[in-house]
Amino acid sequence: MIRAHNTTEVLDALMWRSYLSVRRQDFNLLHLAVETFSYENDYSEGRIAEVSSHGAMMRVKMLGPVVNVSALNKAYVDKHSATQPFCSVA
């Protein structure tokens, strides 16, 4: 979950949601999290073959991070400023 603390961060939060849906491995969200929430996922009949060979329904408890937009922005700047070499102008 991405948390925007004010209206100026809402568009950033939407951008981060899109970015992290395909590039989640780029950032350690549990490390950046300010808090976590737990939730349960019930696997439907169509997904039983993926999860269990016994044909029984499975309820899986998971942990989700709550990350502030400002923390994601800072992590992005830190990551890219560390990897990009500086070019001298003089």
Q: What is the pLDDT of residues 45-75, one digit of tens each?
A: 555 555 555 656 677 888 889 999 999 999 9
Q: Which residue has the higher pLDDT, 25 or 53?
A: 25
**pTM value?**
0.67
Domain map (residue ranges) of the chain: 2-74
Q: Which residue has the higher pLDDT, 58 or 90?
A: 58
pLDDT interval class at 80 (50, 70, 90): confident
- C-alpha 82/C-alpha 12 separation (Å) is 22
Distances from the Cα of 2 to the Cα of 12, 20, 32, 34, 74, angstroms: 10, 10, 11, 10, 14
pLDDT score at 46: 54
